[in-house]
């Protein structure tokens, strides 16, 4: 598959958000240019994170404070695929929007309902869609909202949307996917559940449809990359594998095939006995460049977390001449240590 004639512009920075300060979070920008610089040797086999020299964390460009006792309830999501805007929401439904280019922060309207579990998120047309349950206790109840900018009010507003037509009791969400940019048939976001198959939400019509008994071939979030007309994400077959698929090929009752699969894309799969795997994030930088970020923890003192790190690995896609075979070439990796052992983190 040839790359789109209007390739996505390269973005230089990824944004690392961690709760490593007392009562709040710090936002840091990691410059990815050195990962792809000429002369940087590809990392053929990743060393153990224990053996990697820690890279210095960039100085924070912004800090977000939380009310006492509310820090662990805050969640962050990207408002756009470039990572330029980040949305934070807490258990009281309060919303903030941060512009990472200017570090300006503004309050948005409160969410209609809080979402504490089974959270799926997707981006379509500069809108953030959130689907989740208000609590983790029986009986579960889903809620679906979208955050969009209202020019008349000059404000970001949450709007309630129709619920997906699956049973909340058996509808545990396992994967979800962004919409394709500028799709002629409308922007469609997709959600897969463990027992009830895959459902598609048409953002133009505001309606759901069931696509089939199969599930998306991803674990968690999948993002659309216009340069290849494919969705990329972590595979549901291997925690350290990356895959790509064409979601427009969905047919009723048929599981989507992988278009490409790359095993152990960042070379950390051999070290699962040493480190407990946390969240993973895939960032597309444009022109075939990706960054894979893994949060890892280790327990070494009576079950207590003693170290929490993030490993960022750059990979670059190359297409075979005249063919559709895509290779991901591993570039440089960096390991970042956090001062607070139990830190949570997000990457945008």
Q: How far is 148 from 138, CA to CA, in rounded Å?
A: 31
For residue 2, the model assigns a pLDDT of: 45
First-residue to last-residue Cα distance in the chain: 27
The stretch 263-273 carries a mean pLDDT of 81
Tell me, yes or no, whether 223 lies in a domain: yes
- Three-state SS at 284: strand
Tell me, yes or no, whether 240 lies in a domain: yes
| Backbone φ/ψ region at 253: left (φ over 0), alpha (ψ -120 to 50), beta | left
For residue 4, the model assigns a pLDDT of: 45
The answer to whether residue 110 scores a pLDDT higher than 50 is yes
The stretch 284-296 carries a mean pLDDT of 93
Pairing outcome for strands 13-21 and 345-347:
antiparallel
Give the tokens for residue 263. Answer: 């095993």
For residue 342, the model assigns a pLDDT of: 62
Tell me, yes or no, whether 162 lies in a domain: yes
CB 340 within 8 A of CB 20: yes
Residue pLDDT, tens place only, 152-204? 988 899 999 998 887 766 667 889 999 987 654 568 999 998 877 899 999 99
For residue 70, the model assigns a pLDDT of: 57
Confidence of residue 279 (pLDDT cuts 50, 70, 90): confident
Residues 6+ apart with CB under 8 A from 37: none
For residue 304, the model assigns a pLDDT of: 60
Tell me, yes or no, whether 2 lies in a domain: no
Q: Where are the alpha helices (DSSP H) in 49-171?
A: none
The answer to whether residue 275 scores a pLDDT higher than 60 is yes
Q: How many domains does the chain have?
A: 1
For residue 44, the model assigns a pLDDT of: 46
Least confident of 105-109, 118-122, 271-275: 271-275
For residue 122, the model assigns a pLDDT of: 92
Confidence of residue 207 (pLDDT cuts 50, 70, 90): very high
Q: How far is 294 from 310, CA to CA, in rounded Å?
A: 5
CATH number at residue 185: 2.120.10
The stretch 288-311 carries a mean pLDDT of 80
Residue 29 CA, chain-centre distance (Å), reads 17
Tell me, yes or no, whether 170 lies in a domain: yes
The answer to whether residue 11 scores a pLDDT higher than 70 is yes
Residues 6+ apart with CB under 8 A from 322: none
The answer to whether residue 92 scores a pLDDT higher than 70 is yes
Q: What percent of the chain has pLDDT over 70?
A: 82
Confidence of residue 43 (pLDDT cuts 50, 70, 90): low
Measured CA angle at 230 (ends 226, 232), to 5 deg: 105
Name the residue range of residue 112's domain.
13-347
Report the candidate in 1, 41, 3, 71 with the shortest Cα–Cα distance to residue 289: 3
The answer to whether residue 301 scores a pLDDT higher than 60 is no
Tell me, yes or no, whether 5 lies in a domain: no
Max mean pLDDT among 36-40, 198-202, 324-328 falls in 198-202
Confidence of residue 6 (pLDDT cuts 50, 70, 90): very low
Confidence of residue 130 (pLDDT cuts 50, 70, 90): very high
- How big is the chain by its Cα radius of gyration, in Å? 20
Tell me, yes or no, whether 247 lies in a domain: yes
For residue 5, the model assigns a pLDDT of: 41
Tell me, yes or no, whether 8 lies in a domain: no
Residues 6+ apart with CB under 8 A from 279: 295, 345, 346
Arithmetic mean of pLDDT over the chain:
82
For residue 72, the model assigns a pLDDT of: 62
Burial class (CB in 10 A: 0-12, 13-18, 19+), 246: middle
DSSP sequence for 6-51: SPPPP--EEEEEEEEETTEEEEEEEE-HHHH-TTPPP-SSPPPTTT
């Amino acid at each position: 598959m040839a790359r789109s004639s209007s390739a996505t512009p390269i973005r230089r920075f990824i944004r690392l958000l961690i709760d490593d300060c007392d009562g709040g979070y710090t936002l840091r920008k990691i410059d990815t240019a050195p990962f792809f610089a000429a002369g940087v040797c590809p990392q053929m086999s990743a060393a153990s994170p224990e053996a990697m020299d820690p890279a210095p964390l960039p100085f924070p460009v912004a800090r977000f404070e939380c009310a006492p006792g509310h820090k662990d309830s805050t969640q962050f999501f990207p408002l756009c695929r470039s990572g330029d805007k980040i949305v934070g929401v807490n258990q009281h439904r309060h919303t903030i929007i941060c512009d990472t280019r200017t570090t300006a922060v503004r309050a948005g309207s409160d969410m209609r309902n809080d979402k504490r579990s089974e959270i799926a998120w997707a981006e379509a047309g500069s809108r953030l869609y959130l689907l989740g349950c208000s609590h983790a206790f029986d009986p579960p109840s889903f809620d679906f909202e979208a955050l969009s900018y209202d020019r008349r009010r000059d404000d970001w507003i949450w709007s309630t949307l129709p619920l997906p037509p699956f049973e909340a009791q058996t509808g545990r969400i396992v994967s979800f996917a962004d919409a394709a940019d500028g799709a002629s048939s409308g922007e469609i976001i997709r959600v897969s559940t463990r027992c009830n198959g895959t459902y598609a939400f048409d953002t133009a019509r505001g309606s759901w449809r069931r696509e089939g008994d199969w599930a998306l071939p991803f674990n968690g979030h999948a993002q659309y990359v216009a340069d290849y007309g494919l969705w990329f994400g972590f595979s549901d077959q291997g925690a350290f594998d990356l895959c790509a698929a064409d979601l427009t090929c969905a047919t009723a009752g048929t599981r989507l095939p992988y278009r490409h699969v790359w095993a152990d894309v960042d070379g950390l799969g051999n070290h699962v006995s040493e480190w407990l795997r946390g969240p993973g994030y895939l960032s597309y930088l444009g022109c075939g460049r990706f960054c894979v970020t893994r949060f890892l923890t280790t327990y070494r003192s009576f079950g207590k977390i003693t170290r929490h790190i993030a490993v960022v690995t750059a990979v670059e896609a190359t297409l075979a001449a005249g063919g559709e075979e895509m290779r991901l070439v591993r570039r440089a990796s960096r390991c970042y240590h956090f001062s607070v052992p139990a830190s949570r983190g997000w990457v945008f």
